[in-house]
A = this chain, B = another copy of it.
């Protein structure tokens, strides 16, 4: 029953793939949801092409791929397309880092996910079938994990900070002190020869305590973090077991890390 329907309107609508994707985003933003078939008919392309578009756009965090079509992302509204494009390149590196990080998940034992977008992406790669224990103080991570099954989620309480969408502070430190974490996936605002840095004191004391109670500390940091600068030191480089980053890391900085005894994993950003 799959005869070839020769759709006549070829040009006309939007010729380039980028234009088409922009239109997909626009339609999905406006209506909240569009079916794959709808979009395919409107654009005059096949379902498969639309699916590929949707998947790309989802990776970029611009919309959500759901069974049957595309939906507006869960939280937050989409800004200008310029920012969306910029975010796309960033996210690709981060997703690659998250995927590499998933290879470092321990067979058993609790893992802790720090705040940040990269650790949030790691949620997608967690095993769904072995009741992994996950500890976090990041609200987006909590929300993501609360929606998937067979994961034992522990929230670190504390004072909420809207800037980082996470809980931090003395109460958080006290909660961490009672824990033993196998693997910590740490995030940071900047990294240099003298250590790992973040922006605020409450974040710093929280991260520091997480590092203290963790057997293995894996830093997830895209290459831009190595040229950034932030105020509060979290820990020295030697506290880290591994760093996972993308290709943008210069060889000097890489050898710097290795000299400090840190294993460096560089992942291809496709």
Residues in chain B near residue A32, CB distance under 8 A: 28, 31-33, 71-72
A3-32 contact mask (Cβ, 8 Å, vs B): 1 or 0: 000000000000000000000000010111
* C-alpha spacing A155/B69, complex, angstroms: 29
List A residues 90-104 near B (Cβ within 8 Å). none
Residues in chain B near residue A66, CB distance under 8 A: 33, 35, 68-69
Residues in chain B near residue A165, CB distance under 8 A: 146
List A residues 118-155 near B (Cβ within 8 Å). 137, 139, 142-143, 145-147, 152-155
Query: A2 → chain B, closest Cβ, in Å?
Result: 19
* C-alpha spacing A160/B71, complex, angstroms: 27
**Contact B143 A155, beta carbon cutoff 8 Å:** no
Q: What would 9 A/B residue contacts be, using CB atoms closer than 8 Å?
A: A31-B72, A31-B74, A32-B71, A67-B67, A137-B157, A152-B160, A153-B159, A155-B157, A175-B175
The answer to whether the Cβ of A256 comes within 8 Å of any Cβ in the partner chain is no
* C-alpha spacing A69/B160, complex, angstroms: 31
- Pick from B41, B162, B171: contact of A154, CB under 8 Å: B171
Residues in chain B near residue A197, CB distance under 8 A: none
The answer to whether the Cβ of A167 comes within 8 Å of any Cβ in the partner chain is yes
**Contact B157 A158, beta carbon cutoff 8 Å:** yes
- Pick from B33, B75, B146, B157: contact of A156, CB under 8 Å: B157
List A residues 50-109 near B (Cβ within 8 Å). 64, 66-69, 71-72, 74-75
Query: A84 → chain B, closest Cβ, in Å?
Result: 17
Whether A154 contacts B146 in the complex (CB less than 8 A), given A31-B71, A33-B32, comes out as no
Q: List the B residue with the shortest CB-CB distance to A156.
A: B157
The answer to whether the Cβ of A38 comes within 8 Å of any Cβ in the partner chain is yes
* C-alpha spacing A162/B131, complex, angstroms: 14
* C-alpha spacing A242/B67, complex, angstroms: 43
* C-alpha spacing A134/B30, complex, angstroms: 29
**Contact B75 A31, beta carbon cutoff 8 Å:** yes
Residues in chain B near residue A158, CB distance under 8 A: 154-155, 157
**Contact B157 A145, beta carbon cutoff 8 Å:** no
* C-alpha spacing A69/B74, complex, angstroms: 14
* C-alpha spacing A149/B72, complex, angstroms: 24
Query: A64 → chain B, closest Cβ, in Å?
Result: 8
**Contact A139 B147, beta carbon cutoff 8 Å:** no
